[in-house]
Amino acid sequence: MQFTWLVPIFLGWLAGWLVNYLADVLPLTRRLSQPACLHCQTPFAWSDYLTLRACRTCGTRRSLRAWIVPILAAASFLYLWLFPRPGLGLPLSLIVLTYFGVIIVIDLEHRLILFPTVIAGAVLGLITGTYLFSKQDGILAGLFTSVLGGVAGFAIMFLFYKLGEAVARYRARRMRAAGQAEDDEEALGGGDVYLSGVLGLMLGWPNVILGITAGALAGGAMGLLAIAAYLIQRRYAENSLMTFMPYGPALVLGAFYILYFF
């Protein structure tokens, strides 16, 4: 291990903290508030929060995620430092990865794509897309490619959203007929439509098509894993249609693959 490796490891750890912080406060308060214990709501002292200490009031320990995210982030930053992605460049590849981390953690834990993260993502997506696609034909062409990708990403997912609404209505009718209580499970959340627009800005046109396809494949793979888990637990029959599919993380994984490895 070389001394310089400490730089990406440290930066990655910081990025992991940032992801943890935003995932802790944004879904609950919708602003950059003081982080508080999830169990007793006592605000953390910053020094306790950053050193991942248990809550001093109720003793509840920090979640496993508080540890996993910085470790994963430090490892990914080191990887990107050692094997920089052509095109994106090191600073943007680190920032975009951190952004993806925020989206994935919040969506997995709360099934939410939050509006502030969409706005921040739109700005970051426009910068990323324009940077990527202005190398050949200048900044206006890059901006155009990025915006076109964003519009396409939004429009394609909007169609799927409408389709999902129709499926949900059909499902609600069947559940009523079967005498079951309705739930408000959306096949594809409205947030995914905005997220797809953000990812489209980053990927540009026509790569947004590849990104969404890769996302659908990732989503399909996750779905198969979920079905396998239910089969093992022998609850497949009751639960197959009611399983939550995290489409946001799948879309992000697809975009990540196209942006970093395609």
Residues forming contacts to Zn ion in the complex (CB under 5 A) are 37, 39-40, 42, 55, 57-58, 60
Helix (H, G, I), strand (E, B) or coil at 12: helix
Residue 29 or 60: the one with the smaller Cβ distance to Zn ion is: 60
Report in angstroms how near the CB of residue 199 gets to Zn ion at its nearest. Answer: 36
Whole-angstrom CA distances from 98 to 14, 53, 94, 196, 245 are: 10, 23, 6, 17, 22
Residue 39 or 173: the one with the smaller Cβ distance to Zn ion is: 39
Report in angstroms how near the CB of residue 112 gets to Zn ion at its nearest. Answer: 23
Report in angstroms how near the CB of residue 52 gets to Zn ion at its nearest. Answer: 14
Residue 49 or 81: the one with the smaller Cβ distance to Zn ion is: 49
Q: How far apart are CA 97 and CA 260, in angstroms?
A: 10
Helix (H, G, I), strand (E, B) or coil at 54: coil
Residue 57 or 240: the one with the smaller Cβ distance to Zn ion is: 57
Report in angstroms how near the CB of residue 111 gets to Zn ion at its nearest. Answer: 24
Length of the chain: 262
Counts of helices then strands in the chain (DSSP H, E):
10, 0
Rounded CA Rg of the chain:
20
CA triplet 200, 73, 13: central angle to 5 degrees? 130
Residue 45 or 241: the one with the smaller Cβ distance to Zn ion is: 45
Report in angstroms how near the CB of residue 108 gets to Zn ion at its nearest. Answer: 23
Q: How far apart are CA 24 and CA 106, in angstroms?
A: 8
Report in angstroms how near the CB of residue 66 gets to Zn ion at its nearest. Answer: 14
Residue 27 or 190: the one with the smaller Cβ distance to Zn ion is: 27
- Terminal alpha carbon distance of the chain: 29
Whole-angstrom CA distances from 43 to 15, 64, 125, 167 are: 22, 19, 33, 43
Report in angstroms how near the CB of residue 84 gets to Zn ion at its nearest. Answer: 42
Residue 60 or 180: the one with the smaller Cβ distance to Zn ion is: 60
φ and ψ at residue 87, rounded to 5 degrees: 95, -75
Q: How far apart are CA 234 and CA 223, in angstroms?
A: 16
